[in-house]
A = this chain, B = another copy of it.
């Protein structure tokens, strides 16, 4: 059975209460970056069944290494700083299947 999505991408979008005193991905802008990735994948015609799905997820529990995103089925984890990093993950990994080593965690 072919995979429902060729690549399924989960952005940690967890928001902790500031009183917890522990970092979280959304403090580093993860929701905005997830929205950007989703929009770009749609604009590029890469979204949908048999192609790519961009999802938000709860805490992926790699908070101190974040913001983090994981790409399945390859189980490759990345961090990112800005839209250029997201663009590179989309172009290299999601489009061509090449791991972006410089962003890997």
Nearest Cβ on chain B to A102's Cβ, whole angstroms: 15
Task: State whether A55 and B57 are in contact (beta carbons under 8 Å apart), knowing that A4-B62, A4-B77 are contacts in the complex.
Answer: yes
Nearest Cβ on chain B to A53's Cβ, whole angstroms: 7
Interface string of A1-34 (1 = CB under 8 A from B): 0011100101000000000000000000000000
Q: Is the interface of A mostly helix, strand, loop or mixed?
A: loop
Q: Is A61 an interface residue (CB 8 A)?
A: yes
**Interface hub of A4, A8, A53, A56 (most chain B Cβ within 10 A):** A4
Q: Is A81 an interface residue (CB 8 A)?
A: no
A residues with a Cβ closer than 8 A to B are 3-5, 8, 10, 49, 53, 55-62, 70, 72-75, 77
